[in-house]
Every structure is written in C-alpha cells, then in structure tokens.
A and B are shown apart, each in its own frame.
Chain A
Amino acid sequence: MKSQILQTATKYMLPILLLFSVFVLLRGHYHPGGGFVGGLVASIAFVLHSFSNGTESTLRLLKYHPRVFVPFGLLLAAVSMFAPVFFGLPVMTGLWLDEPIPVIGMIGTALFFDLGVYIVVIGVVLTILFTISQYSD
C-alpha cells in the first residue's frame, strides 16, 4: 500500500499520535484514558506507519523489535508493584510524591504501573501484528 499522501501524512501523524498516546496515559488518573488505551493509540500510530511505509521500515524506526518491549514493560509493572515492599508496606500499596510535578502531575507507583501496562500493550500488539504481516508477505 504505497501511497504518497499516506506516507507524507504518517510522517507527521506518527509523532503527534505518540504524543497523544502519552497524553492519554498521563491524564488517565483523573480523566478518561490510561495505560491500556494509551498503549493501543501508540500501537495504532506505528501500525499506520507500517501501512504506508512497510513493516520493515517501521521495525527499523523502532530500532528494537517490539517483542523486547514486552519483558521491559512487565518488569516495570512488577517493580512498581513490589516497590512498596521495600518500605515495609504490603504489595501494591500506592506510593506518592508529596508535591505534583509540572505538566506530568502527581507521580506515584500507580503511574509507573500504568507505564508498564502501556509498554506491554505496545509490545504485544506490535509483535502480533508485525509477525502476522511479515508472515503474510
């Protein structure tokens, strides 16, 4: 599906969509959004890119194969899950900084957990889609 228009469009769409996905991720704690949806939006951004430029070029763009994202995200989620244990609290207790940080807002373990979900979702969706699309080529 080589289309000049789509190629040009995705060039600008990709960063905007990714930024939007991060926005969805961060606002999740207060408004509709969150890691899962954010991850899906980010995956769609990459899928769109792969549609117009081919899977190979998206994989080159990503630098690492998306499957690498999966364990990384799982690790991040697991660490944020078990982090309270080191403070003598039960697993999954929310730990929060006292003051909000500009732009991002409140920072706590839940955010990192959500970030982990975000990364896993990107990894899983892209791994499945790219594997299938490479298989069908």
Chain B
Amino acid sequence: MLFAVLSGLVFSILLIPFGRYFRGRLSVLAGLLPIALFVYFLTYIPEISSGQTIRTSAAWVPSLGLNLDFYLDGLALLFAMLITGIGSLVFLYAAPYLKGHPYIDRFFAYLSLFMASMLGLVLADNILLLFVFWELTSISSFFLIGFNNDRADSRKSALVALGVTGGGGFLLMAGLVLMGHLSGTYSIQEMVQSNEFIKNHAMYGLILFLVFAGAMTKSAQFPFHFWLPEAMKAPTPVSAYLHSATMVKAGVFLLARLFPVLGGTDYWSYPLMIIGGITMLYAAFLALFRTDLKSILAYTTISALGVMVFLIGMGTRESLLAATVFILVHALYKATLFLVTGIIDHETGTRDITQLSGLRKVLLPVAVAALLAALSSAGVPLTFGFIGKDLIYEATLHQKELWATVLTGLALLTNVFLLCGGFMAGIRPFMGKLPARYSGLHLPHPLMWTAPLLLAVLGVVFGSFPSLVDGSLLKPAAQAIAAQPINSPLKLWHGFNEVLLLSAITLGAGSVLYFIFKPTEKKQDWILGFQRFSTYRLTSSLNRYFLRLSARFTGFWHNGYLRSYLFRIVAFAGAVVAYKLIKIGLIPLDMARVSPVTIYEIGVSLVMVLGVFLTLTTPSRLTAVVASSVVGYCLCLFFVFYSAPDLALTQFTIDTLTVVLFVLVLFRLPSFLKFANNRVKFRDAILSVGFGLVIAISALHVLNEPVNNEISSFYGDNAYRLAKGKNVVNVILVDFRGFDTMFEIVVLSISAIGVYSLLKLRLKPSDKE
C-alpha cells in the first residue's frame, strides 16, 4: 500500500527529467498509472467486503510518533476507488484536452502528485501522516488551480484557495495534536478505543472546533465556501477531479473518519447540521443565478458537500449510509457534468448558458452523458441519484417529530434547487435551436467524450442494479464510518410511502422551477450585489491590510542601507550584552593577578591610540583605511606578546588583505569624506564607544570567570599522541575539529560564489535580457 501511495509521488518526480517525452502523443500514457492503481484497489474488494481490514506500517519518524501507517477499510477503499477511478478518466481526458499545451508534462506531474497525496490522505491511519497528506493536497491543488499562471486572476484564486485551506489546515493540526496528546496515540484506530475519554474531556469542545475548522475550509462550507467558485479558474479536468470528486471531499472524509472517535454527541451533531444545512440551501439557491456553467457546478458542489456534512452531523445509521451513497452518487454525476462542461468550453469557447443551446445536434454522445448525469442529480428513478435522494429523505424523516419536519423541508428545498441547477448545466446547453455559429462543431477526441459518457452510464447502471456496489463498496464504507453493522440493503423500490412522495414532489417542483426560471446576466448582477457583505470580501480586505502592513514593516527594517543595518545590529547586540552586564553588577578586579605592564605594551598601545586618532580626523579615505590597519597590526603584536603566534600570523595576513580589499573598493568612491552631519557623527560615536566599552567589560568578566582547563589540557596532551602534531592550534583545526574547518571552507566558498555571481551579474547588464 505504501508503494501505491508513493507511486504517484515518484511519477511526478520522474516527470521532471523525463517530462518532455510526455508532451506529445505519449501524454495519454500518463493515464496508465491511475488505471493500474484502480485495478490494484479493485483486487481488495473481496477482502474488504467480507469485513476485513488491512493495516501496514513502516517507521518514518518514530520519535515524533509519525509513522507510515496505512489502513484500508471500507471508507478508505471507497475513496481510493473514487480517486483512482475518476483519476484515470481525468488523466485520459486531460491528454487531448490540453494537447499542445507547453506545460502539459507539468500538469500531469501536479495531477499525479495530487492523486498520491489524496490516496495517502484516505489511507493514512496515523493522524500526523494524514495531516501531511492533507497539506500536500492543498499545495498540489494550489499548483493546479494556478496552472494558467500567466493570468492574474488564476494566480489570485490559487492563492485564495491555498490561504483558506491552509488556514484551516493550521487549525486542524492543532486539533489533531490535541487528540493525539489526549489519547496517547496517533493512530486513528487506537484512538477509537479511547473515544469515551476524549468525548468527556474538557478539551473536547476545542478539539471539535479545530477539526471542524479544518474540514469546513477544505470542504468549502459556509462561510468558507468562497474559494471553491474562485478555484474554477483551473483547467476543467482539474475542476472535475479536485472540486467534484476528491479534494473537496477530503473534509467530508475527515469527518467520516473521525466520526467513531469524536462523533455521536450533541456537540458534534448540531454545529455540523447547522453549518451543513446553511451551506446546502444557500449554495443551491445561489447556483440558480449563475450563468457560467462552471459556476453553477461549483455552487451545486458546495451544496452537495453541505448535504454530506449535514448527514454526517446527523450521525444516525441511516444518515451515515445516505452520506456514503451520496458521496458516490455525487462523484459520478458531478464529474460527468464537469467533463461535459470542459468539452463545451473546449469546442465553443464559452461557458455562458445564455449563449449555448441546441448542442445535442452536434455533440450527441456528450448530450447523452450530460442528460444522464442531470437526471441522476435530479434523482429520477432508475438513476443512482434516486437511491441517494431516497436515503437522504429517509434519514431526515427518522428524526424526532419537529426536527423531522424541519430537516425534511430543508432537504426538499435543497434538492429542488439542486435539480434545477443540474438541469441548467446538463440539459439547457443541449436543448433548443442550434445557433448558426456552432453548426460547424464536431466531436472532440474520443477519449474526451467517452470519459463522461462512461461515468454517466455507470450512474444509471448502479441506479438500476444497486447490488453491484451495495455490498462490495458502500456498506463496508458506511460500517467503517458508523463503526457498527448496517443491514438495510439498497433497494430500488420501497413501496408507496412518504419517501416516494417526497421524491415525486422534488421532481415536479424542480422541473417547474427549471422551466419558469431563466438565469440572466441581470439576475446574476443582482445577486452579486449582496457579495458586499460576504466573508470573501472580508478576508480579501484583511489580506490587503496585512500586505500593506508587511510592506511597511519590511520597508522600515530593510531599507537597503548597509550603515543602518550595521547600526541596528551593533546597537541591539550591545544593548543585550550591556543589560546582562548591568544585572551582574561590578567586577571585583584583582590587580594582583594582572601581569605587570611592559614598555613594549605601552609603546604599541600609544601607536594604536595614534592610529585611531588619525582614522577619525583624516580627511582622506585612504589614510583612514591605512591608519585603521595600523591598529590591526598593533593588535597582532599583542598576540605575539601573549604567545599566540598562530593567531598573530593569521591576523596579520587578514589585515593586509582587508586593506587591499578596502583600497579596491574605496578607490572608486569620491575622494572627499564629509558626508555625515554632526548629529549622525555624535550618534555613531556614542554607539561605537558604548559597544567598545561593552566588549571591554565582557573581556574583563571572562578574566574573572573560573578557568576550565579540561579541554585545552586534553588537546595539549593528545595532540602529538593521537594526531602526530606538535602545533596544538593546527591539530585542532585539521584533526580534532576538522569538521568545523570543513564547513568553514564551504562557507568561504559560498561567500566567494556570492561575490562573484553578484558582481558578474552587474558587469554585464546586457546578459539579463
């Protein structure tokens, strides 16, 4: 299983060096990977459907509790099949869709990276691992949404999506860590054992809040829904894959996965039902006012996600089964509709439903696929959607008296709107008269129209013969969520009861609404007027302020003047050390321990003072440099006095080279030295004198510290014995602490490369073009 997850990652990495071979016709071959994975997961069906689960484990970072634990149960298998199955079709569809695109190899790299992270997410048993893959899906979807990165709006919507999902992921991480901390394990299956403890813990509310925040942002729930319609800037295969079938369902998956650990309480149910309820109704209503096909689909997707969250929040056996079935139902019809939209967009160049009509005459197989998907989304009998909708009504009706009425009404209204939205996207573009400008249209590459057709047909097949997926896929999944057996089999016919009545009302009311309500630009503008108060506006203006603030902050601290950096660094370091020195207090200076001052030392010190004086007063830069180097040379003499010849030697050569460097640079500067006013000079003088004092006092402190001779005597004793050298300093450099030296010369080399490349870049401005 580890390999199945990693294969996508490996494939995307391999596309970096070998990508150019995939740009042409071979791009179709990229689809082999998801197909192989699909078949691989298909072989697990017998085992899983018989109630078994499979667990594999490999150590990754055991010290952090982060292990590559994968767990395959019904829920994971259902999602894995969706990811690889729809993934296969999307891969095959994208090859002709993006044919000739210069970055098609990159596209497949992102796509397979996404597929791998999604697989990892659904298969992970370790919550930290789950979180790693969770973030990877956000990151890979960032690249996919912003795939047309030459367009500003595309880049922006990618950032919005990343910002929202990343922010939620941040909160989720806190929640997961808290869970792991409380239960003492990071394995979800082991957490299930201690679910009572977590549910009764004082932190339970906080955990729920954090986990919900993660799930709500990822699954585009109100009020974080706005990133999903924005993300429709992505190429349509991406929308079909990420925003219908997989990524947005990650939040739903998380809730389902954690249901046995956290679910089943009022604190779990009410927030989810409220949020899900608002989302499903609000988004379905908004979908009606859209004229862009992908926008309609985006809003109906948000609404469908709301339905799933709503059902999982309800948390009864029926509702969990309904959620499971609806996940599959929705994936099948929504991916179909997205792929159809992609074909329409690809062929006609527009997605505006007020412009499109009569396309069935030229794109017949596409029209059939769209019709079947629309019917499934409407819940017409014999489509899979019918079963899904029945289960939803059954779940709402089984609530307590008043709740049953309210929730059923809510579901009914949502379903009516969803039906209308589905018809608008799946039927309207194909009906009516074909405009003359589209009469020359022809079917796209067969791979493009077979993919949606296959999905749509599957929706009808499953709807007519639900036993095909019932026991093998859906029931194990629902049982995995509920953590208890679920017995009622999926049926086509429940007899004449309330559920059937509700379905009929939905169909009737939805169809009527479809025929009387025509979306127009005007209505869309009217509804857009309300967006002034939306969370999207709020976050984007917050964003703007944040950017402005950080620009100011950066501008203040990074003003590009070396002198101001130097000033701040020295002032800060000096202040910190000075604070510490003041806290320590006075130093007891023991004059007896100070060695007597010799005549050489006095002489050299006088030269040093002279050098400093000259440096400060000379009007010439060159003189200043030379004078300050005299100070350096005098320092070398002190090293010699106190028997540190190695240090003196090095200091001497370094000083020489520094002078040379200075001269090289100063040579080019204007010759006068009067640029600072007295105030600045005074400030700098205070700073330098202060810093010098701080250093001098610290040096005196060092003198006072008890001396630990252990290390130096070790080096002294062992230099010859172990390293065959008599010069201890050098032995330390090349042997005892050779690693340090190695890294130091690496750092030196990097600085040389830095100087070289910076200046060479400046040397030839013409090369920049």
A81→B733 CA distance, assembly (Å): 13
Q: Beyond A47-B660, A110-B725, is A128–B735 a contact (Cβ under 8 Å)?
A: no
A115 closest partner in B (C-beta): B734
B477 CB to nearest chain A CB (Å): 53
A-facing residues in B732-769 (Cβ within 8 Å) = 733-735, 738-739, 741-742, 745-746, 748-749, 751-753, 755-756, 759-760, 762-763
Q: Beyond A33-B649, A36-B650, is A70–B726 a contact (Cβ under 8 Å)?
A: no
A117→B746 CA distance, assembly (Å): 10
A123→B661 CA distance, assembly (Å): 15
B760 closest partner in A (C-beta): A131
A131→B751 CA distance, assembly (Å): 12
* Residues in B whose Cβ lies below 8 Å from that of A29: 724-727, 730-731, 734
* Residues in B whose Cβ lies below 8 Å from that of A36: 650, 733
The yes or no answer to A30 lying at the interface (CB within 8 A) is: yes
* Residues in A whose Cβ lies below 8 Å from that of B745: 73-74, 77, 116-117, 120-121, 124
B-facing residues in A1-40 (Cβ within 8 Å) = 24, 28-37, 40
A136→B664 CA distance, assembly (Å): 7
A-facing residues in B636-666 (Cβ within 8 Å) = 645-646, 649-650, 653-654, 656-657, 660-661, 664-665
A108 CB to nearest chain B CB (Å): 7
A136 closest partner in B (C-beta): B668
The yes or no answer to B32 lying at the interface (CB within 8 A) is: no
* Residues in B whose Cβ lies below 8 Å from that of A92: 735, 738-739
Q: Beyond A121-B745, A125-B657, A135-B759, is A32–B735 a contact (Cβ under 8 Å)?
A: no
Interface residues of B, count at CB 8 A: 43
* Residues in A whose Cβ lies below 8 Å from that of B654: 40
The yes or no answer to B667 lying at the interface (CB within 8 A) is: yes
The yes or no answer to B36 lying at the interface (CB within 8 A) is: no
Q: Beyond A37-B653, A44-B657, is A135–B763 a contact (Cβ under 8 Å)?
A: yes
B667 CB to nearest chain A CB (Å): 6
A73→B739 CA distance, assembly (Å): 15
A24→B735 CA distance, assembly (Å): 18
B668 CB to nearest chain A CB (Å): 4
A105 CB to nearest chain B CB (Å): 10
A136 CB to nearest chain B CB (Å): 4
A35 closest partner in B (C-beta): B734
A36→B741 CA distance, assembly (Å): 10
A28→B741 CA distance, assembly (Å): 15
* Residues in A whose Cβ lies below 8 Å from that of B730: 28-29, 33-34, 114
Q: Are B645 and A94 in contact (CB under 8 A)?
A: no
* Residues in B whose Cβ lies below 8 Å from that of A47: 657, 660
Contact residue among B649, B665, B727 (Cβ-Cβ distance under 8 Å from A132): B665
Q: Are A34 and B752 in contact (CB under 8 A)?
A: no
The yes or no answer to B42 lying at the interface (CB within 8 A) is: no
Q: Are A127 and B756 in contact (CB under 8 A)?
A: yes
Q: Are A78 and B742 in contact (CB under 8 A)?
A: yes
A47→B762 CA distance, assembly (Å): 23
Q: Are A94 and B733 in contact (CB under 8 A)?
A: no
Contact residue among A24, A96, A113, A123 (Cβ-Cβ distance under 8 Å from B734): A113
Contact residue among A128, A133, A135 (Cβ-Cβ distance under 8 Å from B762): A135
A125→B719 CA distance, assembly (Å): 30
A132→B735 CA distance, assembly (Å): 34
A80→B746 CA distance, assembly (Å): 15
Q: Are B735 and A94 in contact (CB under 8 A)?
A: yes
A28→B570 CA distance, assembly (Å): 35
Contact residue among B649, B725, B753 (Cβ-Cβ distance under 8 Å from A32): B649
B431 CB to nearest chain A CB (Å): 70
The yes or no answer to A53 lying at the interface (CB within 8 A) is: no
The yes or no answer to B576 lying at the interface (CB within 8 A) is: no
Q: Are B727 and A34 in contact (CB under 8 A)?
A: yes
The yes or no answer to A52 lying at the interface (CB within 8 A) is: no
B665 CB to nearest chain A CB (Å): 6
B653 closest partner in A (C-beta): A40
B660 CB to nearest chain A CB (Å): 5
A62 CB to nearest chain B CB (Å): 15
* Residues in B whose Cβ lies below 8 Å from that of A121: 745, 748
* Residues in A whose Cβ lies below 8 Å from that of B667: 136
B633 CB to nearest chain A CB (Å): 14
The yes or no answer to B549 lying at the interface (CB within 8 A) is: no
A70→B762 CA distance, assembly (Å): 22
B395 CB to nearest chain A CB (Å): 65
The yes or no answer to B527 lying at the interface (CB within 8 A) is: no
Contact residue among A114, A128, A132 (Cβ-Cβ distance under 8 Å from B751): A128
A77→B741 CA distance, assembly (Å): 10
The yes or no answer to B722 lying at the interface (CB within 8 A) is: yes
* Residues in A whose Cβ lies below 8 Å from that of B646: 32-34, 37
The yes or no answer to A106 lying at the interface (CB within 8 A) is: yes
The yes or no answer to B723 lying at the interface (CB within 8 A) is: yes
A123→B339 CA distance, assembly (Å): 60
Contact residue among A32, A70, A81, A131 (Cβ-Cβ distance under 8 Å from B727): A32
A124→B752 CA distance, assembly (Å): 5
A117→B739 CA distance, assembly (Å): 12
* Residues in B whose Cβ lies below 8 Å from that of A134: 759, 763
Q: Are A33 and B727 in contact (CB under 8 A)?
A: yes
Contact residue among B664, B729, B751 (Cβ-Cβ distance under 8 Å from A129): B664
Interface string of B457-477 (1 = CB under 8 A from A): 000000000000000000000
Chain A residues with a Cβ under 8 A of chain B: 24, 28-37, 40-41, 43-44, 47, 51, 67, 70-71, 73-74, 77-78, 81, 92, 94, 96, 106, 108, 110, 113-114, 116-117, 120-121, 123-125, 127-129, 131-136
A-B contact pairs, 8 of them (CB 8 A): A30-B727, A40-B650, A81-B742, A114-B734, A124-B751, A129-B661, A132-B661, A136-B667
Known: A35-B734, A94-B724, A96-B724. 19 other contacts (CB 8 A): A24-B649, A29-B726, A30-B725, A32-B649, A33-B646, A34-B729, A36-B733, A67-B752, A70-B753, A74-B745, A77-B742, A92-B735, A92-B738, A113-B738, A117-B734, A124-B752, A128-B661, A133-B664, A136-B664
Closest 4 CB pairs of A and B: A40-B653, A32-B645, A124-B752, A30-B726
